[in-house]
Structure formats: structure tokens, C-alpha cells
A and B are shown apart, each in its own frame.
Chain A
Amino acid sequence: MWMALLLGSIKWLGLIMGFVMPVASLLTWAERRQSAMMQDRLGPNRANIGNVKLWGILHFVADALKMMFKEDFVPARAHRALFTLAPLLAIIPVFIAFAIIPFGPPVYAHHLLETLDPYKVPVGGGEPLQVITVEFGLLFYFAVASIANYGTTLAGWASYNKWALLGGLRASSQMMSYEVAMGLSILGVFLVTGTLEPGKIVEWQGPNPLHWGVCVQPLSFILFFVAAVAETKRAPFDIPEGEPEIVGYFVEYSGLRFGLFFLAEFIEVAFVGALITTVFFGGYHIPGLYQDGFYFADWYVNLPHIVVVVLQVVAWTLKVVFFCWFQLLIRWTLPRLRPDQLMDLGWKKLLPLSMLNVLGTAAVMTWWR
């Protein structure tokens, strides 16, 4: 029992401190550099310690320090407890949601240095590289993401500011609409794989790219991706962030309180990337890499288990980083949607299409299986 807790904590720390926090912090730098590279200009590249510049990567340290040292104020008549609680409600669910993401294959600790024989190792017996493996896996994410909605609404309410309140309501209605679309669009994947648990979804997809979610359920991928980008309030759905044009819900937040909202958004970017790779792009699988080595048409090479595990974890990392890059690309390419266009898209376009997707998938599965 304590062993399970210890292993769970090690996986959790490894995932959060080793991957999520560095990626989210680097995303704040990457956002500015990538947007600059896309716009034919240099981005921020001068933050340095001594002579070490590193293309301006240290800007994320500078950003963090700036946010910590800014004046922290609470508006005079704001509800102090709720004002403090709102950024916490925005950031805590995003961390928790990472618990269901499988970032590597099951590790068989006793067979690390030898090539796995698929007939000898017990099926489902290894230690999965996933913090919790409950059978309602993806529903856990949807449940937890709804709490993030509370953070937004509370921020608008607790600021004691009419326009922040309106902005908060606008943002939370956006998040709510796209939560519905996200849940329905991923039902197609559940129908095909027969399970809600992300580890099993990844195992179902396997190393053959034609079995990956994007090939089996392409419409579901597009709908889910659009809905997930809208849920996290990233462009082109970032009306709540369009501060010069329309007042958002975090006008009264400064310093580290705003820093938590800001960081929550980038962690959500990483999380959406991780979820997309898990459900639609085969998670940690590399095409051709099976449990005991590479197998292409006639050629194969057997690899020790530890090498396979490391390769697959690295593949997962690269896929998540690619989807983060892709989300940044979308942000800096597409113009922002108006709030009415946004609601229109969520309710009148994504929702019927995802229902049609479910119907079509169910029909195909009934008559072709």
C-alpha cells in the first residue's frame, strides 16, 4: 500500500516537476519567440545571467520574478476570500487533471534489461506510467475541468467590478458551452475503443498509425481539438483575454494572482496537447515499435525493455511539444471570434456535428462488426 503511494508520488512528481512545469514555463517564452519567428522579427532575446543568453529562454524566469514582486492588492470592497480563491480554483484542476495521462508504457521492473517476451509477461501486470488508472479515466478530466469554470466565474464576481463580472460571465458561458461539445465529440472514441481509461485507449491504438484515433475518428479529432482550444480560452477564442478591446475577468488581478491565471492557461495548453496525443495520436507509441522492438515489414530488431520505455516516453514528450507548438501556431494565425460567433460555433455547429459523429460511429460499428 505504501509502495503504491510511493510509486504514485514519484510518477506525479516526475510528471509535474519534470515535464509540466518546465513545459508550461517555457511555453511563456515560446509564445513570444514563436510568434516573433512567425512574424519575421526577433522575439525577446536579451534576458541573461551574466553572459548566458540562451536565445532569451531566461525571460520566463524574469516573468516569474516580475509577477512575484509586483504590488499585490485586493480591491477595496472585494470579497477577499473569494478573490484569493479564484486563481486557485483556476489552476488546481489543471494540475489534478494530469493524473490520468499515461506518459509511458507499463514498466516491468524485473525485466528491465532484457527484451520482453510477450508470451511470458503477464498482461496488464506492469507498473503503468500513469498516476491513477481508474476505469472512469476521461470522465475524471471532464469533472475536474468543470471546477476550472468556477475559478473564472468567481474571479469576475469577487472583483467587485461590473465589467469584470460581465467578462467573467462571458468567459464561463464560453467554457460551459465548449465542455458540452468536448464531451460529446469524444464519445465516438469511447464507442470505438470500448473503454474510458486513457491507458487502455492508448493500448487499443497500438503502434500501427492506421489504428490511431485520428484515422479512426477524424471528425471527432477536429471537433475535440476546436472545443478544447475554446475551453482553455486560447485564441481564436480568447475574448476573455482581449483586454484592450473588451474587459475580461482578471482586470483586478495583479502580481502573482494574475500569474496563477496566466500559468494555468499555459498548463492547459500542455494538457490539451497531452490529451490529444493520448486519445487521437497513439499516446506514447512510435509507429513500428512494439513491446519487444521494432518490427517493420520484413525487418525487425529486438530491444531491451528499458530502451523501449525510454523511447516511448521521449516520443510522448515530442508529440505533446508538437501539439503545444501547433496551438501556438493557431493562436498567432487566426483572428479572434466575436462572442456571438463563438456561441454559435459551440452550440449550433460543434454540438450537432458531434452528435452526428456519434450516430455515424454507432451505425458503422453495428453494421460492420
Chain B
Amino acid sequence: MSAAHDEHAHAAPAHGSGPRVLSVSEKNPKVRTVQVERPPMGIERAFLPAVVKGLAMTAKHFFKNTFRGVVKSNEMQTIEYPDVKPSYPARYRGLHRLMHREDGSVRCVACMMCPTVCPAHCITIHPGERADSNEKYPVVFEIDELRCVVCGLCVEACPCDAIRMDTGVHMHPVQSRGDAVLGKVDLMKLGVQSTAVQGGLDGDWRSQDDADSRSAESAAPAAPR
């Protein structure tokens, strides 16, 4: 069914080796236009043998998968979400959560690092003074989850381990856009107490940090995955 078959009669190679060159570019002699060698097709031009082979292949897949309870091999890769969820990697960024101190208040000191670094400008913080210490605290802490690009920069920027994205869940669907702006109370619902120490640590702070977060996670139940 292709008109190119008509040119096959002229496809004798000129030099007896390699494809027949039709033209050579003037600027770069290595760029050539060559005649494509197509294998001679007789009855195959009607594509009927190819059609039959293709139909046999798809029919085989059809019967293998339809009777997949009966036939032992099962090639189906479909995960029936949301009954079955795929396994996420350890550092998968999910919904945000605000971590707590020992007394249950939010760890955030309203330093404004996360709204500054956020590329989507989705974090809104209104700071206020704590009554009992010199630190600030966020009176209003809102994240517009519809704008969030899930980049994790806010987590990297935070010096206080106040915000994490390790919940492993996604933002639930909303009926109107305003419902997607999560406030401090909602974000703290998923959060647990964090015992990360603020301020300086010594040289092996990485191993110290892992030990701390492992003990924090085994102490408090992890967020639902």
C-alpha cells in the first residue's frame, strides 16, 4: 500500500557497496541523501500475513489476561489504586506537616525562610510574639496546596525542623479552591513531636540527626502512609 515500492526497480547500487547515494550536501560532504533499500515484498504487500500475525499476538494476550485466574502467569502491572497504593521511596515528598515541641506548640519560629525560598509563593506566615520566651511564633501559617509544586525547598530551608513533607499522603481533592488552603491547625494535625535540637551540632551532625529522627519516629506513630 505504499507508493515507494515503485522506486524499488531503480535501486541498483552505483558502486556495488552500500546504499545508492542520491545527493551530497555542499557544506558538509559527510551529509548525504541515500536511497533506502527496501526488501522485495511479494504477497506481503497486501500486509495480510502481517495482519494475521498481529491479530494472533493480541488474541494471545487477550486470552492470557482474561483467564488470568486460571493461567498461572500474570503480566498485569495495573495497581488498583486507591485500594492498593504503590510503594513510595523513603524521601518521597507528600503533604506538609508542622512538627510540635514538647508542650505541643508549633516548632516554627516564623523566621520566614520557607516563604522566601518557596518558588510558588504558597506559604503565608503572620508572625507574633511568644508570651513566655523571646521567640516568635506563627499566628497564621497557611499553605495553598493547589499552588505548591512539591519541591521540598521549604523543608530544606527550615532551620528548626518545623515543616516536613514526609507524610507520604497526597492532598485530598477539594470542591472549591478555598478548601485547599491548609491552615496551621490542619497542618499540625499530621505532625508529631520532634526532638531535633536547634542551634549548633558538632562535626558528625549527620549521624546524630539520623539517630534523633529514628528515635522520634519510633517513639511517636508515623503518619499514615
Interface centre among B75, B78, B80, by most chain A C-beta atoms within 10 angstroms, is B78
Check A40 against B77 for contact (C-beta < 8 Å): yes
B residues lining the A interface (CB < 8 Å)? 1, 51, 54-55, 57-59, 61-62, 65-66, 75-78, 80
A329 in complex: contacting residue of B62, B76, B77, B80, CB < 8 Å: B62
Interface size counted on chain A using CB atoms at 8 A: 18
Check A37 against B65 for contact (C-beta < 8 Å): yes
Minimal beta-carbon separation of B86 from chain A (angstroms) = 15
A61 interface contact, C-beta 8 A = no
Check A34 against B76 for contact (C-beta < 8 Å): no
Complex CA–CA separation, A341 to B62 (angstroms) = 29
B58 in complex: contacting residue of A41, A45, A333, CB < 8 Å: A333
Which residues of chain A are near B59, meaning CB under 8 Å? 38, 329
A190 interface contact, C-beta 8 A = no
Which residues of chain B are near A112, meaning CB under 8 Å? none
Check A42 against B76 for contact (C-beta < 8 Å): yes
The chain A residue with its CB closest to the CB of B66 is: A37
CB contact under 8 A between A333 and B55, given known A34-B62, A37-B65, A42-B80: yes
Check A37 against B62 for contact (C-beta < 8 Å): yes
Check B54 against A333 for contact (C-beta < 8 Å): yes
Which residues of chain B are near A314, meaning CB under 8 Å? none
A330 in complex: contacting residue of B55, B62, B65, CB < 8 Å: B55
A344 interface contact, C-beta 8 A = yes
Minimal beta-carbon separation of A220 from chain B (angstroms) = 15
A-B contact pairs, 14 of them (CB 8 A): A34-B62, A37-B62, A38-B59, A38-B65, A40-B65, A40-B75, A41-B76, A41-B78, A42-B78, A330-B55, A333-B51, A333-B58, A341-B1, A345-B1
A9 interface contact, C-beta 8 A = no
Complex CA–CA separation, A345 to B48 (angstroms) = 13
Minimal beta-carbon separation of A300 from chain B (angstroms) = 34
Check A39 against B61 for contact (C-beta < 8 Å): yes
Which residues of chain A are near B55, meaning CB under 8 Å? 329-330, 333
Minimal beta-carbon separation of A340 from chain B (angstroms) = 9
Which residues of chain A are near B57, meaning CB under 8 Å? 333
Interface centre among A34, A37, A45, A341, by most chain B C-beta atoms within 10 angstroms, is A37
The chain A residue with its CB closest to the CB of B57 is: A333
Check A38 against B51 for contact (C-beta < 8 Å): no
A81 interface contact, C-beta 8 A = no
Check B78 against A37 for contact (C-beta < 8 Å): no
A332 interface contact, C-beta 8 A = yes
Complex CA–CA separation, A118 to B75 (angstroms) = 54
The chain B residue with its CB closest to the CB of A236 is: B51
A123 interface contact, C-beta 8 A = no
Complex CA–CA separation, A38 to B76 (angstroms) = 11
Check A41 against B77 for contact (C-beta < 8 Å): yes
Which residues of chain B are near A329, meaning CB under 8 Å? 55, 58-59, 62
Which residues of chain B are near A40, meaning CB under 8 Å? 61, 65, 75-77
Complex CA–CA separation, A36 to B1 (angstroms) = 29
A76 interface contact, C-beta 8 A = no
A334 interface contact, C-beta 8 A = yes
Check B54 against A38 for contact (C-beta < 8 Å): no
Check A37 against B61 for contact (C-beta < 8 Å): yes
Which residues of chain B are near A34, meaning CB under 8 Å? 62
Complex CA–CA separation, A332 to B64 (angstroms) = 16
Complex CA–CA separation, A330 to B191 (angstroms) = 54
The chain A residue with its CB closest to the CB of B78 is: A42
Minimal beta-carbon separation of B51 from chain A (angstroms) = 6
The chain B residue with its CB closest to the CB of A345 is: B1
Which residues of chain A are near B51, meaning CB under 8 Å? 333-334
Task: A42-B78, A333-B55 are known; give 9 further A-B pairs, CB within 8 A.
Answer: A37-B65, A38-B58, A38-B59, A38-B65, A41-B76, A42-B76, A330-B55, A333-B54, A334-B51
Which residues of chain B are near A39, meaning CB under 8 Å? 61
Which residues of chain A are near B75, meaning CB under 8 Å? 40
The chain A residue with its CB closest to the CB of B50 is: A334
Complex CA–CA separation, A333 to B51 (angstroms) = 8
The chain B residue with its CB closest to the CB of A46 is: B80
Check A334 against B54 for contact (C-beta < 8 Å): yes
Which residues of chain A are near B78, meaning CB under 8 Å? 41-42
